[in-house]
Homo-oligomer: A and B are copies of this chain.
């Protein structure tokens, strides 16, 4: 298949493109290098920064020029990973919220018009987030909910409860794509992804962030354990989320494009393998670090985020398993391997960029 990967310079985008090529697909890589520039602007250093591949086409998906790449390449599928991924960034200031809105919502709008005009049968695979759902008091389904109300029935998009301007942009994207399926007969897969961890992509290094703006909990805990600073748990750590290994992200994306949504179908899949609370993850890392003789410490910070720390959480995630996903679960071996990797780049760790600075 001919696949465009938007955001191909990113933590997930780069190995996704590699993985698809390794599986025989013809890939066009697109990126604006915005994230790379932002890391510089904010003085945030990844554990490992990657070089820029010569095969990446430099293009902002928000720009009109993007349409030309779609027209010329004529993709069978487009994987849209070209969004700003940070809740803290979006809550930092008005300008950052506006930047996140512009980049995420306007890129998706540009994408759907370009696809509808030039390749209306192209399958769009959009990376959403489990965070769109929030923490409802009912089971989280895969995108749709059957509702009975006053004796009548309907099937509706699962009601969302996003927790930041970033998460709002992802909800908007989903709503927009669902409309394009209804109205234009577009074929879309919306992947509501859990939090990704891991360093081993199977395709070489990728950019690995652990800072307060672009890092996530498990990756951060491992860096903190290796650096010999306390593992920072936000609040009580009772926040439960879905998690998955970066290897599984690549496989999920491959499975999604090789088993496309149908014409007019807005297919939603919850892309994660296991549920953990933040405290459970900290405990896991703590125990492994302890066994390695690292004398780890743990510290509960006042939660910088406005989120529930004790809540019901049960989310369906069977559709990708049905497509054949073989899960890479979070074993102590996986944590050991991540720790080894971080050790090998220990000299790059900048402690002062780990603690949260944005509060909401």
A interface, CB within 8 angstroms of B: 94, 97-98, 101-102, 105-106, 109-110, 113-114, 117, 136-139, 145, 147-150, 152-154, 156-165, 168, 171-172, 175-176, 179, 182-183, 306, 312, 360
Q: How far is the CA of A172 from the CA of B171 in the complex (A)?
A: 8
Taking CB atoms, residues of chain B closer than 8 Å to A161 are 156-157, 182
Nearest-CB distance from A144 to chain B (Å)? 10
Query: In the complex the two chains form, what is the Cα distance from A109 to B160 in whole Å?
Result: 19
Top-8 shortest CB links A-B? A156-B159, A94-B113, A137-B154, A138-B149, A138-B152, A172-B172, A138-B154, A136-B154
CB closest residue in chain B, given A100 = B109
Please indicate the chain B residues that have their CB under 8 angstroms from the CB of A176 in the complex.
Answer: 165, 168
Tell me the minimal C-beta distance from A325 to chain B in angstroms. Answer: 24
| Copies of this protein in the complex | 2
Cross-chain contact A162 with B175 (CB below 8 angstroms): yes
A168 near B157 (CB under 8 angstroms)?
A: no
In the complex, the chain B residue whose C-beta lies closest to that of A91 is: B183
- Please give me the residue from chain B that is nearest to A176 by CB atom: B168
Given contacts A159-B159, A160-B175, contact A149 B145 (CB under 8 A): yes
- Once bound together, how far apart are the Cα atoms of A255 and B101, in whole Å? 33
A158 — which chain B residues lie within 8 A by C-beta?
159
Q: List the B residue with the shortest CB-CB distance to A67.
A: B94
Given contacts A138-B154, A157-B161, A171-B175, 4 further A-B contacts (CB under 8 A): A94-B113, A101-B106, A165-B176, A165-B179
Subset of 6 A-B contacts with CB under 8 Å = A94-B109, A101-B106, A101-B109, A138-B153, A138-B154, A171-B175
Shortest beta-carbon distance from A57 to chain B in Å: 20
| A109 contacts B136, C-beta separation under 8 Å | no
Instruction: Tell me whether A152 and B139 are in contact (CB under 8 A).
Output: yes
Looking across the interface, which residue of chain B has its beta carbon closest to that of A146? Answer: B149
Residue of B nearest to A102 (CB): B106
Residues in B whose Cβ lies below 8 Å from that of A145? 147, 149, 159
Contacts of A105 in B (CB 8 A): 101, 105, 172
A350 smallest CB distance to B (angstroms): 30
A154 to chain B, nearest CB (A): 4
Q: Are A147 and B159 in contact (CB under 8 A)?
A: yes
CA distance A114 to B98 in the complex (A): 13
